[in-house]
Amino acid sequence: MNKVHVKKIDFADNYWYPRMKQMAEQVIPYQWSALNDQIPGAEPSHAIENFRIAAGETDGKFHGMVFQDSDVAKWIEAASFSLQHTPNAELEQIIDAVVDLMERAQQEDGYLNTYFTVAAPEQRWKDQSFGHELYCAGHLIEAAVAYFEATKKRKFLDIMCRYVDLIDRVIGPEADQLQIYDGHEEIELALVKLYRVTKEDKHLKLSQFFVNERGKQPSFLESEPTFGNDFKDRWFALDYHQAHAPVREQETAEGHAVRAMYLYSAMADLALLTGDTGLKNALIELWKHVTTKRMYVTGGLGSQGHAERFTVDYDLPNDTAYTETCAAIGLIMWAVRMLQLEPNREYADVMERALYNGALSGISLDGTKYFYVNPLEVHPQVARYRYDMKHVEPERVPWFGCACCPPNIARLISSLDRYIYTTAGDSVYVHLYAAHECKLEVDGQQVGLVMDTRYPWEGHIAVQIHAAQPVEFDLCLRLPAWAPSAKLRVNDEAINVPSVIERGYIKLRRQWREGDRVTLQLPMSVQRIASHPKVHENAGKVALQRGPVVYCLEEVDNGADLTDIRLNLSSSSDFKAEYRDDLLGGVVIIRAEGERSDLRYWEGKLYDGFQPAYVTVPVVAVPYAHWGNRKPGEMLVWMRQG
């Protein structure tokens, strides 16, 4: 059987290509300035200066979060991904200088962590609950792997291999080693990436150790002084760390949402590489639980600000939602790994939902402002005053003291080519649609795919094959769940779509020839989305979705008191979709008719007998990911329906 390998993807669309270009030309330089405290009005980072202090080159105290090193690591990873599609000698020199600085900051035994070198050297390996020691190591490993893949320079990789060798000596299953793991998962998936580059079994085995050790009882975490954070309450118990049970026995998604996503991603990597059915079966159950009971319609995760965590099934409040940008990114990371385990539309549908909505909302259109928290309903005056909404920012900000999200969104968008395809044997699965050129290798033969589309605004997708000689393989195109009907042609032949569907993919097997063309037409009608009746906050409400894009109302278009608006529609045909190239960088907006209360009736009253008094108003909805890019104001995803 032929083997298909994806070799290279070059974007050419009007949606993602400009964003990837923006990452390279604006966002990555902006974030470098932020890491060096050069953004007026932004919270200071001190992250690069911490490395200088650790190297003994400047005096001063460590500043920032204990995991401040990870901001630099994720920035290097984003920059490295960017270099792979946008070469930049100046950027490469900057990274080289940072790597040199890290080498000077590395301790004689290989240790590399500025917080525990500068601020708390006596606490090495003693604070896994909140020290983020191995978490930072993980992000540095990922950065080193990405930089090696982009440049083939080994220096950073060698630095991290020295550090990993130290970790491997200190931590492990032997009696003279520490049987510990980091409270914040990350190193587990990073070690798998390192293994794929070095091919050294010890790196894979160390990842397995961390995953297998998690959840064993009694847990060493409970004996640490920092366990429970400053609060020492039930929300920071073992389940906060996904350490309440061995990972293969976990059936529900618990605790800190980002930590959970990174753990599940590592478990999927290990299941793929080792064939561990216990891990795979646990992941399937966890996936079902997350996506059917604890996920927002935007792909956001984590409904409670305190402990940034999951709570209970169907508890999905809109205005107090936490839905950290990093959690949506983590869901995307997990989804693509599930697709590598088994191609199944449900994984790709969720990946797309989180990508176009819950993750992308975390960055402004100009790339210089960010949301850490992504609620589905915002009332600025209330959010600025209420204690239980203190985590909600009504506007994006230039940077954060806890700045995990900005470089995370940069590395996601810069590496988007890694999420379009997966392969299995002689089958190539297309999960996401964007105009691009792709080079495949099929049993040693070079094959080109050229996709032309204006997705997500239009549903027409055309794929042309370029092959010097006929070559046989499966081309599998995802049929999204939101598109129950579709039209398909291969060259001039109309194909009966239901007859070629397999696990949600249109599977086309044939001997492909130069110039063969596949055209797929997805319906792009506006859909009213309802939520499970147990999601109490959404009772009697609908959200609007068109294609993969979830919509919202903004005050700038509809006036204040958005919760008072109710849609007065009987069918989806009552919605009008309109492309506006002069708005928000070019988007499809949705127009509809609605009603709101006649406030004249309520003058001087707070309560009264129910006597409906409404006026008809036009309603305009814009993509959720684009909200907050004009002027501050209210925002609303779930709307009342008359």
Three-state DSSP state, 521: strand
Is the torsion defined by CA of 498, 462, 441, 493 positive or negative?
Answer: positive
Our separate counts of H helices and E strands in the chain read 17, 22
Task: Indicate left, alpha or beta for 125 from its phi (over 0: left) and psi (-120 to 50: alpha).
Answer: left
Query: How long, in residues, is the chain?
Result: 642
Question: For residue 333, which amino acid is it?
Answer: M
Answer yes or no: are the C-beta atoms of 240 and 257 closer than 8 Å.
no
49, 77, 188, 308: the catalytic one is 308
The three state secondary structure string of 263-325 is: HHHHHHHHHHHHCCHHHHHHHHHHHHHHHHHCECCCCCECCECCCCECCCCCCCCCCCCCCEH
136, 161, 326, 404: the catalytic one is 404
Write the burial class of residue 443 (CB in 10 Å: 0-12 exposed, 13-18 middle, 19+ buried).
middle
404 is catalytic: yes
* Bridge-based pairing state of the strands 541-546 and 427-430: unpaired
Answer yes or no: are the C-beta atoms of 267 and 237 closer than 8 Å.
no
The tokens describing 420, both together, are 């379009």
Answer yes or no: are the C-beta atoms of 544 and 575 closer than 8 Å.
yes
Rounded to whole angstroms, the Cα distance separating 171 from 123 reads 15
For the sheet with 445-453, list strands across it. Answer: 4-11, 436-442, 445-453, 460-467, 517-521, 487-490, 493-495
Across 526-565, b (16+ Cβ under 10 Å) vs e yields bbbbebeeebebbeebbbbbbbbbbbbbbbbbbeeebbbb
User: Secondary structure of the chain: what % helix, strand, coil (to 5)?
Assistant: 40, 20, 40
Q: How far is CA 532 from the centre of its chain?
A: 24
Point out the residues that are catalytic.
Answer: 308, 404
